[in-house]
């Protein structure tokens, strides 16, 4: 967990530094409006256990996702997003030991960007949607869907003279896990890297 928090903390420190080092600048394909698509992959895991005793925990899993939206202008994009996280219960856990849990996150978010003359654009994410959780390794587990809030931050580099970009980001989905005898607010952290493309530029 310390490694995950260290990575997220480092990203949070780097973004303001980059933003202050460069003045805002509208790169040719960032001025908007434009249709943007993106895909990403990486890792993810919950920040806490499902119980206070710490006996219901998950290993770090893997994540893939993507989406599409409209970049209204160089500072704002409105996006539809899907993320998938697959994790495995710790062998020492009293629940879900060795079982694979599938988390499907879907919804929308606002991306608030700060493009710079260097081509880098730090950004913040805020949104909401739902999460569906299932466990195909346990026939008695009832799949369920809950409301999920979303927040995050990242850094994108826009290549000059075309619509392509690359990015790294950390996002958190917040939801209530109240099935199987548990009742806990979960914070699932995803750290990913990906590619983006803006059409019409």
Predicted TM-score (pTM) of the model is 0.82
Q: Which two tokens stand for residue 15?
A: 């973004």
Q: What is the residue range of 89's domain? A: 2-199
Give tens-digit pLDDT for 32-68. 699 999 999 999 988 888 887 777 888 899 999 999 9
How many domains does the chain contain in total?
1
Mean pLDDT of 181-185: 88
User: Could you tell me the CA-to-CA distances from 148 to 10, 142, 152, 172, 174 in Å, in that order?
Assistant: 25, 18, 13, 10, 5
Give tens-digit pLDDT for 144-164. 999 999 999 999 999 988 899
Find the CATH number of the domain harbouring 24.
Answer: 2.40.160.20
pLDDT of residue 2: 39
Three-class SS of residue 109?
Answer: strand
Q: CA 11, 16, 21 angle in degrees (round to 5)?
A: 125
């Amino acid at each position: 967990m310390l490694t995950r928090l260290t990575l997220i903390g480092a990203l949070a420190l780097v973004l303001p530094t980059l933003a202050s080092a460069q003045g805002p600048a509208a790169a040719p394909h960032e001025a908007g409006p434009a249709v943007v698509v993106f895909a990403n992959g990486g890792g993810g895991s919950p920040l806490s256990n499902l119980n206070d005793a710490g006996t219901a925990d998950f290993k770090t899993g893997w994540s893939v996702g993507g989406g599409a939206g409209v970049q209204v202008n160089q500072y704002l994009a409105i996006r539809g997003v899907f993320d998938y996280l697959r994790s495995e219960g710790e062998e020492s856990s009293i629940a879900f030991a060795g079982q694979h849990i599938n988390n499907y996150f879907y919804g929308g978010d606002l991306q608030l960007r700060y493009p710079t003359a260097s081509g880098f654009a730090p950004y913040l994410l805020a949104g909401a949607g739902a999460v569906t959780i299932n466990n195909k390794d346990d026939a008695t587990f009832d799949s369920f869907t809950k409301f999920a809030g979303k927040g995050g931050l990242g850094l994108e580099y826009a290549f000059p003279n075309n619509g392509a970009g690359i990015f790294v980001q950390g996002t958190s989905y917040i939801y209530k896990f109240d099935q199987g005898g548990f009742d806990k607010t979960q914070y699932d952290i995803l750290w990913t890297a990906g590619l983006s493309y803006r059409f019409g530029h």
